[in-house]
Amino acid sequence: MNVFITGGCGFIGSHLAERLLARGDRVLVLDDLSTGRIDNIAHLIGMPRFDYRIGSALDLPLVTELVDRCDVTVHLAAAVGVRLIVERPVHTIETNVRATETVLAAAAKKQKLVVVASTSEVYGKSTQIPFREDQDLQLGPTSHSRWAYACSKALDEWLALAYAAEKDVPVIVVRFFNTVGPRQTGRYGMVLPNFAQQALANAPITVYGSGEQARCFGHVNDAVEALLRLIEKKEALREVFNIGSTEEISILGLAERVREAAGSTSEIRRIPYSEAYAAGFEDMMRRVPDVSKLERVTGFRPRTPLSQIIADVVTDQRSRMEGGSAGDWRLPASARSA
């Protein structure tokens, strides 16, 4: 199988590329390196069946050429991270919506399969736990840039399903829930690598808000496995799937477990949202996926325990710090709850 990955130098994209090559597929990666890193695919460059382009998913002629060369496109390119979303809402909206439209328009020419990456953020302020793919979405007011990302990704989903209905493009939509693991950077507010960096430096671990807000963290290897299984299933076409762990933990509890795993003496410091974000910032208290649909269609559900996930992230961050590969390592001023 020939697979085209937009955002392929990113965290999830690089793991997906690695896994595809290992099983014998051909992989073509596109990334503009705005949030992705060439280091993430450095070990793949020069391998048979792997190619990459530095460029934008907004470039229709380029994207059309690359989509045409492959059997399936996995569209991961997007503006990511709470910090980036809050500080650059125009960039967030334009990047997410226009890039998805570009990929779908290219795929429509020859009805090529597209997997569109979405996010648990689309559930917004819903308190209907666990989140099911067919439930109503509940976003905050347009006056709060916090919801720009969620809105843009929801529009991506509607756009994908509209292309499926009107232009017969085979599409699959996946909603990732806090996917974490090796290679993830804390640069854009990703909470687990930030906590690990702070703990390993014996610096204060900064928890924003009360710390009682809870999340489910899924291993990137499980996310990749889910993607690969969905691509093979005709039943997945024109459907939306949650991908994530169902093991829930509070952000304060996560900070404590990271500190323990790192053997750290860090204090845990709670800081009000008002000191981190613009006035009126809102967060969700819980975000738990229902993954029964994923399991029903693919026979798979993410099961990597949080203890293993934390250990993998701490090991990865320790390696970065000790190896000085710090295009990635810099002690962040804060760690936000994603």
What one-character-per-residue DSSP string does 238-270 give?
TEEEEES---EEEHHHHHHHHHHHHT----EEE
With b for 16 or more beta-carbon neighbours within 10 A and e for fewer, the 170-208 pattern comes to bbbbbbbbbbbbbbbbbbbbbbbbbbbbbbbbebebbbb
Q: Which residue among 52, 123, 149, 208 is the active-site one?
A: 149
3-state secondary structure 1-50: CEEEEECCCCHHHHHHHHHHHHCCCEEEEEECCCCCCHHHHCCCCCCCCE
Q: Is 321 helix (H, G, I), strand (E, B) or coil?
A: helix
The span from the CA of 213 to the CA of 249, in Å, is 8
149 is catalytic: yes
- What the block records as the tokens of 305 is 């325990």
The span from the CA of 54 to the CA of 8, in Å, is 10
- What the block records as the tokens of 5 is 């990955």
List residues with catalytic annotation.
149
